[in-house]
A = this chain, B = another copy of it.
Amino acid sequence: MNLIVLLNNDFIDDTHITLTDKRFEHIRTIHQSSVGDSVKLGQLNGMMGTGIITAITDNKVDIEVKLDQAPPEKLPLKVILALPRPKMIRRIFRSIAELGIEELIIINSYKVEKSFWNSPALTDEKVEGYLMAGLQQAKDTVLPRVSFKRLFKPFLEDELPAIVQGSRGIIAHPATGKPCPHSINESAVLAIGPEGGFTEYEVNKFIEAGFEGIHLGERILRVENALAAITSKLY
């Protein structure tokens, strides 16, 4: 936790907050802070800055905050991702926020098991928690937008053209297309398939929507490594 993200109900007034939950525990046990120490914090979807600890007890910490810095810019990158298996959801959503991706669109795909859509990891509250963990790691305050599109064909045909318009559409597909471009100076929409990849039909639907196939060389990376690797090459 390199930045503590504050919610509206942490605020007593404009410049004073009290924390009692695991953020308090983090300040007490990891930072081992005491009165007068400073801590980096930011308001969810708002400004970042510094807090000075004014009181700390066994069950809460009071902090006087000064929020005067803008959060870092998001990358001009939207990611379209086939729903990952439940045990990967936490890590991947956290990475989306950590890497500075502005929007995540989760879609269905032939190789996504139907049961994955019922995962308890997909509640709004859980998803926000994973994203906030990524923000607190990366020192950012702004949640990426997240949406779920369970119907592949209507999404690809009816919604995707407007999403990719004016951006570069890229689909990661090992053994297809060109090497991943690097240092692009434009916004992009990146599609990454499930474990086992998109089917040929699915890849072709993206190509029809104007996407280009790219690969990362001979090695097949897991989704979370491919996500970090491609994002890093593009920007």
Residues in A lying within 8 Å of B, measured CB to CB: 2, 72, 95, 98-100, 137-140, 182-183, 216-222, 224-225, 228-233
Contacts and interface: CB of A to CB of B under 8 A. Distances in A.
A99 B225 contact: yes
Given A230-B232, A232-B232, A98 B225 contact: yes
A229 to B, nearest CB: 4
Copies in the complex: 2
Contacts of A222: 98, 137
A102 to B, nearest CB: 13
Given A182-B183, A229-B228, A232-B229, A140 B219 contact: yes
Q: Which has the most chain B C-beta neighbours within 10 Å: A183, A232, A233? A: A232
Given A72-B218, A72-B219, A220-B2, A225 B95 contact: yes
Contacts of A232: 216, 228-230, 232-233
A220 B72 contact: no
A98 B183 contact: no
Contacts of A138: 219-221
Contacts of A99: 219, 221, 225, 229
A212 B138 CA distance: 22
Nearest to A220: B2
A183 B180 CA distance: 12
Given A216-B232, A232-B232, A221 B98 contact: yes
Contacts of A229: 99, 228-229, 231-232
A193 B137 CA distance: 15
Contacts of A72: 217-219
Interface centre among A99, A139, A225 (most CB of B within 10 A): A225
A98 to B, nearest CB: 6
Contacts of A233: 182, 232-233
Contacts of A224: 224-225, 228
A139 B216 CA distance: 13
A68 to B, nearest CB: 16
A70 B222 CA distance: 22
